[in-house]
Structure 1
Amino acid sequence: MYWLRRRLYSQNFLSNRELIQKLIRESSISPQDTVLDIGSGHGTITKELLKITPHVNAIEKDPRFTSHPQDFLTYPLPKYPYKVFSNIPFGITGDIIRKLLQSPNPPSDCNLIVQSEAAAKFIVTPKCNTLAALLYYPWWDIQITHKFSRFDFRPIPKVDSVLLCIKPRPKPLVPVLQKAAYYDFVIYNFVHDPHAKFVPPSQYIKFKNNPKYKGAYSKLLQEQSLLQKIHRTRTDKNWRKF
Structure 2
Amino acid sequence: MIEYYQHRARKRFGQNFLQDASVIKQIMHSINATPEDRLLEIGPGKGALTQSLLDSGAQLDAVELDKDLIPILNQRFANKLNFNLHQGNALKFNLDSLNTAPNRLRVVGNLPYNISTPLIFHLLNKIGTICDMHFMLQKEVVKRLAASPGSSYWGRLSIMTQYHCYVEHLFNVSPGAFNPPPQIDSAIVRLVPHAVLPHPTKHYELLKRVVREAFSQRRKTLRNTLKVLLSDAEIKAASVDSDLRPERLDLAAFVRLARQLAISNPLA
Question: Cα gap change, 1:215/1:154 in structure 2, threshold over 3 Å: closer, same or farther?
Answer: farther
Residue of structure 2 equivalent to 1:209: 260
2:200 corresponds to 1:150:
no
What's the TM-score once normalised by structure 1's chain length?
0.78
Q: Which moves more between the two structures, 52-61 or 67-76?
A: 67-76
2:58 corresponds to 1:40:
no
Cα shift readout 1:48-88 (whole Å, capped 9, x = no counterpart):
10011341111111122104632111211134121012111
Aligned partner letter, 1:140: C
Q: Which moves more between the two structures, 186-195 or 121-130?
A: 186-195
Alignment of 1:150-169 (within 5 A): 150-169=175-194
Counterpart of 1:131 (choices 143, 156, 160) is 156
> Within 2, Cα distance between the matches of 1:119 and 1:72?
19
Structure 2: runs of 5 or more not aligned: 1-6, 72-85, 217-224, 227-243
Structure 1: runs of 5 or more not aligned: 217-242
Identity between Structure 1 and Structure 2 (%): 21
Counterpart of 1:101 (choices 116, 124, 138) is 124
Larger radius of gyration: 2
**Residue 64 of structure 1 aligns to a residue in which SS?**
helix
2:113 corresponds to 1:90:
yes
Question: Cα gap change, 1:176/1:206 in structure 2, threshold over 3 Å: closer, same or farther?
Answer: closer
**RMSD of aligned alpha carbons:** 2.5
Question: Cα gap change, 1:213/1:65 in structure 2, threshold over 3 Å: closer, same or farther?
Answer: farther
2:26 corresponds to 1:22:
yes
Runs of 4+ in 1 over 3 A off after TM superposition: 187-191, 211-216
> Within 2, Cα distance between the matches of 1:99 and 1:185?
19
Q: Which moves more between the two structures, 188-197 or 161-170?
A: 188-197
Cα shift readout 1:192-233 (whole Å, capped 9, x = no counterpart):
2492233233422444332456677xxxxxxxxxxxxxxxxx
Q: Which moves more between the two structures, 58-67 or 156-165?
A: 58-67
Residue of structure 2 equivalent to 1:198: 248
**Residue 209 of structure 1 aligns to a residue in which SS?**
helix
Residue of structure 2 equivalent to 1:186: 211
